Amino acid sequence: MGYGDWKNIHARLSEHERSTDHINSLTNWMEAETRLRKKLTIDSSNKKFIEKEKIFWRDVLKRIISVVKTLAGSNLAFRESNEKLDDHNSGNFLSIIRMIADFDPIMEEHLRRIQRKETRCVHYLGHNIQNELILLLAVEIRNKIIEIIKWAKYFSVILDCTPDVSHEEQMSLILRCVDVSKTPITVEEFFIQFLKVVETSGDALFNELKYVLGILELDFNDMRGQSYDNGSNIKGQYKGVSSRVLKEYPRAFYVGS
Protein backbone atom coordinates (compact mmCIF):
# COMPACT_ATOMS: atom_id res chain seq x y z
CA MET A 1 0.00 0.00 0.00
CA GLY A 2 1.49 3.28 -1.09
CA TYR A 3 0.05 6.67 -2.01
CA GLY A 4 -2.61 5.39 -4.40
CA ASP A 5 -5.44 5.77 -1.91
CA TRP A 6 -6.33 8.24 0.85
CA LYS A 7 -6.58 5.53 3.52
CA ASN A 8 -2.82 5.18 3.90
CA ILE A 9 -1.78 8.80 3.21
CA HIS A 10 -1.35 9.68 6.92
CA ALA A 11 0.90 6.69 7.60
CA ARG A 12 2.99 7.33 4.54
CA LEU A 13 3.44 11.06 5.38
CA SER A 14 4.47 10.25 8.94
CA GLU A 15 6.94 7.74 7.60
CA HIS A 16 8.35 10.27 5.13
CA GLU A 17 8.71 12.99 7.77
CA ARG A 18 10.84 10.65 9.92
CA SER A 19 13.05 9.60 7.00
CA THR A 20 16.72 10.62 6.78
CA ASP A 21 16.25 12.21 3.34
CA HIS A 22 13.45 14.46 4.56
CA ILE A 23 15.31 15.52 7.72
CA ASN A 24 18.50 16.33 5.73
CA SER A 25 16.55 18.28 3.12
CA LEU A 26 14.69 20.24 5.78
CA THR A 27 17.93 21.00 7.63
CA ASN A 28 19.61 22.19 4.41
CA TRP A 29 16.63 24.34 3.51
CA MET A 30 16.51 26.00 6.93
CA GLU A 31 20.26 26.60 6.84
CA ALA A 32 19.98 28.14 3.36
CA GLU A 33 17.12 30.37 4.56
CA THR A 34 19.23 31.55 7.51
CA ARG A 35 22.23 32.25 5.26
CA LEU A 36 20.10 34.17 2.79
CA ARG A 37 18.63 36.28 5.57
CA LYS A 38 22.06 37.03 7.03
CA LYS A 39 23.67 37.40 3.56
CA LEU A 40 26.22 34.66 4.24
CA THR A 41 25.79 32.69 1.00
CA ILE A 42 28.50 32.11 -1.61
CA ASP A 43 26.58 34.45 -3.94
CA SER A 44 26.69 37.15 -1.28
CA SER A 45 30.46 36.79 -0.89
CA ASN A 46 30.94 36.96 -4.64
CA LYS A 47 28.66 39.98 -4.84
CA LYS A 48 30.69 41.78 -2.15
CA PHE A 49 33.88 41.04 -4.08
CA ILE A 50 32.35 42.30 -7.34
CA GLU A 51 31.10 45.48 -5.67
CA LYS A 52 34.53 46.06 -4.15
CA GLU A 53 36.16 45.65 -7.57
CA LYS A 54 33.64 48.00 -9.16
CA ILE A 55 34.50 50.70 -6.62
CA PHE A 56 38.23 50.10 -7.14
CA TRP A 57 38.05 50.39 -10.94
CA ARG A 58 35.78 53.42 -10.70
CA ASP A 59 38.36 55.13 -8.48
CA VAL A 60 41.15 54.18 -10.91
CA LEU A 61 39.22 55.72 -13.83
CA LYS A 62 38.56 58.91 -11.84
CA ARG A 63 42.30 59.40 -11.41
CA ILE A 64 43.06 58.60 -15.04
CA ILE A 65 40.37 61.03 -16.24
CA SER A 66 41.81 63.72 -13.97
CA VAL A 67 45.26 63.23 -15.54
CA VAL A 68 43.76 63.39 -19.05
CA LYS A 69 41.90 66.61 -18.18
CA THR A 70 45.06 68.19 -16.74
CA LEU A 71 47.26 67.40 -19.74
CA ALA A 72 44.61 68.29 -22.32
CA GLY A 73 43.71 71.51 -20.51
CA SER A 74 47.37 72.56 -20.45
CA ASN A 75 47.89 71.50 -24.09
CA LEU A 76 50.71 69.12 -23.10
CA ALA A 77 51.87 66.01 -24.96
CA PHE A 78 50.68 62.70 -23.54
CA ARG A 79 53.21 60.21 -24.91
CA GLU A 80 56.73 59.85 -26.20
CA SER A 81 58.31 56.98 -28.12
CA ASN A 82 57.04 54.17 -25.89
CA GLU A 83 54.32 53.29 -23.39
CA LYS A 84 56.33 51.21 -20.95
CA LEU A 85 55.23 51.81 -17.39
CA ASP A 86 58.73 51.47 -15.93
CA ASP A 87 60.40 53.70 -18.53
CA HIS A 88 60.87 57.31 -17.42
CA ASN A 89 60.90 58.43 -21.06
CA SER A 90 57.36 57.17 -21.64
CA GLY A 91 55.79 60.63 -21.59
CA ASN A 92 53.82 62.97 -19.35
CA PHE A 93 50.77 60.75 -18.89
CA LEU A 94 52.55 57.75 -17.39
CA SER A 95 54.93 60.01 -15.45
CA ILE A 96 51.98 61.62 -13.66
CA ILE A 97 50.41 58.20 -13.07
CA ARG A 98 53.63 57.03 -11.39
CA MET A 99 53.76 60.20 -9.29
CA ILE A 100 50.16 59.69 -8.11
CA ALA A 101 51.01 56.10 -7.14
CA ASP A 102 53.70 57.40 -4.77
CA PHE A 103 51.00 59.01 -2.59
CA ASP A 104 47.74 57.29 -3.49
CA PRO A 105 46.97 53.68 -2.38
CA ILE A 106 44.42 53.14 -5.17
CA MET A 107 46.85 53.91 -7.98
CA GLU A 108 49.65 52.12 -6.12
CA GLU A 109 47.54 48.95 -6.03
CA HIS A 110 46.64 49.38 -9.70
CA LEU A 111 50.30 49.58 -10.76
CA ARG A 112 51.15 46.65 -8.51
CA ARG A 113 48.55 44.50 -10.27
CA ILE A 114 49.92 45.50 -13.67
CA GLN A 115 53.55 44.84 -12.75
CA ARG A 116 52.70 41.41 -11.27
CA LYS A 117 50.51 40.66 -14.31
CA GLU A 118 47.38 40.26 -12.21
CA THR A 119 45.69 42.56 -14.68
CA ARG A 120 46.41 41.07 -18.09
CA CYS A 121 43.89 42.47 -20.54
CA VAL A 122 42.72 45.90 -19.38
CA HIS A 123 44.64 48.50 -17.38
CA TYR A 124 43.37 51.75 -18.97
CA LEU A 125 46.82 53.29 -19.33
CA GLY A 126 47.35 52.77 -23.07
CA HIS A 127 46.99 55.32 -25.86
CA ASN A 128 43.59 53.98 -26.98
CA ILE A 129 41.88 54.79 -23.68
CA GLN A 130 43.64 58.18 -23.59
CA ASN A 131 42.28 59.06 -27.03
CA GLU A 132 38.83 57.78 -26.12
CA LEU A 133 38.71 59.84 -22.94
CA ILE A 134 39.89 62.95 -24.80
CA LEU A 135 37.11 62.44 -27.35
CA LEU A 136 34.47 61.91 -24.64
CA LEU A 137 35.60 65.02 -22.76
CA ALA A 138 35.62 67.03 -26.01
CA VAL A 139 32.06 65.97 -26.82
CA GLU A 140 30.90 66.85 -23.31
CA ILE A 141 32.55 70.29 -23.45
CA ARG A 142 31.12 70.99 -26.90
CA ASN A 143 27.64 70.02 -25.72
CA LYS A 144 28.00 72.47 -22.84
CA ILE A 145 29.11 75.22 -25.22
CA ILE A 146 26.17 74.57 -27.55
CA GLU A 147 23.85 74.73 -24.54
CA ILE A 148 25.25 78.18 -23.68
CA ILE A 149 24.84 79.37 -27.28
CA LYS A 150 21.26 78.09 -27.49
CA TRP A 151 20.45 79.85 -24.23
CA ALA A 152 21.90 83.07 -25.68
CA LYS A 153 19.92 82.37 -28.91
CA TYR A 154 21.87 84.73 -31.20
CA PHE A 155 25.44 84.09 -32.26
CA SER A 156 28.18 85.06 -34.71
CA VAL A 157 30.47 82.83 -36.76
CA ILE A 158 34.24 83.20 -37.21
CA LEU A 159 35.91 81.05 -39.86
CA ASP A 160 39.59 80.73 -40.69
CA CYS A 161 41.05 78.46 -43.36
CA THR A 162 44.65 77.29 -43.11
CA PRO A 163 46.62 74.18 -44.12
CA ASP A 164 47.53 71.72 -41.35
CA VAL A 165 50.92 69.99 -40.98
CA SER A 166 49.98 67.50 -43.71
CA HIS A 167 49.24 70.43 -46.09
CA GLU A 168 45.51 69.63 -46.15
CA GLU A 169 43.16 72.59 -46.02
CA GLN A 170 41.11 72.84 -42.85
CA MET A 171 38.73 75.43 -41.45
CA SER A 172 38.45 76.40 -37.80
CA LEU A 173 34.95 77.17 -36.56
CA ILE A 174 34.54 79.67 -33.70
CA LEU A 175 31.20 80.86 -32.36
CA ARG A 176 30.69 84.11 -30.49
CA CYS A 177 27.70 84.86 -28.29
CA VAL A 178 26.56 86.81 -25.25
CA ASP A 179 26.86 84.36 -22.37
CA VAL A 180 23.79 84.99 -20.21
CA SER A 181 24.32 81.82 -18.15
CA LYS A 182 26.56 83.57 -15.65
CA THR A 183 26.89 86.87 -13.82
CA PRO A 184 28.15 89.29 -14.97
CA ILE A 185 27.01 88.70 -18.55
CA THR A 186 29.96 88.58 -20.94
CA VAL A 187 30.69 88.20 -24.64
CA GLU A 188 32.45 84.86 -25.19
CA GLU A 189 34.16 83.14 -28.11
CA PHE A 190 34.16 79.35 -28.23
CA PHE A 191 36.29 77.19 -30.49
CA ILE A 192 34.03 74.39 -31.73
CA GLN A 193 36.10 72.22 -34.06
CA PHE A 194 38.29 71.97 -37.14
CA LEU A 195 36.45 71.25 -40.37
CA LYS A 196 38.22 69.30 -43.08
CA VAL A 197 37.80 71.20 -46.33
CA VAL A 198 37.85 69.25 -49.58
CA GLU A 199 37.00 72.22 -51.81
CA THR A 200 37.80 75.84 -50.92
CA SER A 201 35.30 77.65 -53.13
CA GLY A 202 32.81 80.00 -51.50
CA ASP A 203 29.88 77.70 -52.28
CA ALA A 204 31.61 74.64 -50.82
CA LEU A 205 32.60 76.47 -47.62
CA PHE A 206 29.11 77.89 -47.23
CA ASN A 207 27.55 74.45 -47.62
CA GLU A 208 30.02 72.99 -45.11
CA LEU A 209 29.18 75.73 -42.60
CA LYS A 210 25.46 75.18 -43.09
CA TYR A 211 25.90 71.42 -42.66
CA VAL A 212 27.91 71.74 -39.44
CA LEU A 213 25.47 74.21 -37.87
CA GLY A 214 22.72 71.73 -38.70
CA ILE A 215 24.64 68.94 -36.95
CA LEU A 216 25.07 71.21 -33.92
CA GLU A 217 21.32 71.93 -34.03
CA LEU A 218 21.90 75.68 -34.32
CA ASP A 219 19.42 77.69 -36.35
CA PHE A 220 21.07 79.65 -39.16
CA ASN A 221 18.32 82.26 -38.78
CA ASP A 222 19.76 83.12 -35.34
CA MET A 223 23.12 84.04 -36.88
CA ARG A 224 23.76 87.76 -36.45
CA GLY A 225 27.36 88.16 -37.51
CA GLN A 226 30.13 86.62 -39.62
CA SER A 227 33.85 87.21 -39.77
CA TYR A 228 36.53 85.50 -41.87
CA ASP A 229 40.21 85.51 -42.74
CA ASN A 230 41.62 87.27 -45.78
CA GLY A 231 40.88 84.52 -48.33
CA SER A 232 38.93 85.82 -51.33
CA ASN A 233 36.87 82.64 -51.38
CA ILE A 234 35.86 83.41 -47.79
CA LYS A 235 34.77 87.04 -48.05
CA GLY A 236 34.52 87.64 -51.79
CA GLN A 237 32.04 90.28 -52.88
CA TYR A 238 30.02 88.01 -55.16
CA LYS A 239 30.87 84.35 -54.56
CA GLY A 240 32.44 84.31 -51.11
CA VAL A 241 30.91 82.76 -48.03
CA SER A 242 29.90 86.15 -46.64
CA SER A 243 27.88 87.04 -49.75
CA ARG A 244 26.24 83.62 -49.81
CA VAL A 245 25.26 83.92 -46.15
CA LEU A 246 23.91 87.47 -46.59
CA LYS A 247 21.91 86.38 -49.61
CA GLU A 248 19.98 83.78 -47.61
CA TYR A 249 20.27 85.31 -44.13
CA PRO A 250 20.46 89.12 -44.47
CA ARG A 251 20.62 89.68 -40.69
CA ALA A 252 24.02 87.94 -40.46
CA PHE A 253 26.11 91.10 -40.96
CA TYR A 254 29.68 90.75 -42.16
CA VAL A 255 32.42 92.20 -39.93
CA GLY A 256 35.90 92.51 -41.43
CA SER A 257 38.78 90.79 -39.64
Q: Which CATH number characterizes residue 174's domain?
A: 3.30.420
DSSP H helices in the chain: 9-17, 20-38, 42-73, 92-101, 105-115, 127-152, 202-215, 232-235, 241-248
Higher per-residue pLDDT: 159 or 256:
159
Sorting pLDDT into bands at 50, 70 and 90, what band is 230?
A: low
DSSP letters spanning 13-27: HHHHHTSHHHHHHHH
Identify the pLDDT of residue 234: 59
The answer to whether position 112 is within a domain reads: yes
Domain that holds residue 69: 42-125
Considering the domain architecture, whether residues 146 and 249 belong to the same structural domain is answered as yes
Q: Decide if 213 is inside a domain.
A: yes
Domain assignment present for 136: no
Q: Which residues of 172-194 are buried (b: 16+ CB within 10 A; e: fewer)?
A: ebebbbbbeeeeeeeebebebee
Instruction: State residue 105's pLDDT score.
Output: 95
Domain count of the fold of the chain = 3
Q: Are residues 160 and 235 in the same domain?
A: yes
Residue 230 exposed, middle or buried by CB count within 10 Å (0-12, 13-18, 19+):
exposed
**Is residue 15 domain-shared with residue 65, that is, in the same domain?**
no
Q: What is the pLDDT of residue 3?
A: 56
Bridge partners (DSSP) of residue 155 are 177, 223
114 and 177 belong to one structural domain: no
Do both 29 and 55 map to the same domain? no
Condensed to tens digits (0 to 9), the pLDDT of residues 115-132 reads 888 877 788 898 899 999
pTM, two decimals, is 0.67
In this predicted model, what pLDDT tens digit does every residue of 55-104 receive, in sequence order? 999 999 999 999 999 999 898 999 888 888 888 788 899 999 999 999 99
Considering only residues 201 and 139, tell me which one the structure prediction assigns the higher pLDDT. Answer: 139
Pair 113, 207 in one domain = no
- Residue 188 identity (one-letter amino acid): E
Looking at the structure, tell me whether residues 53 and 23 fall in a common domain. Answer: no
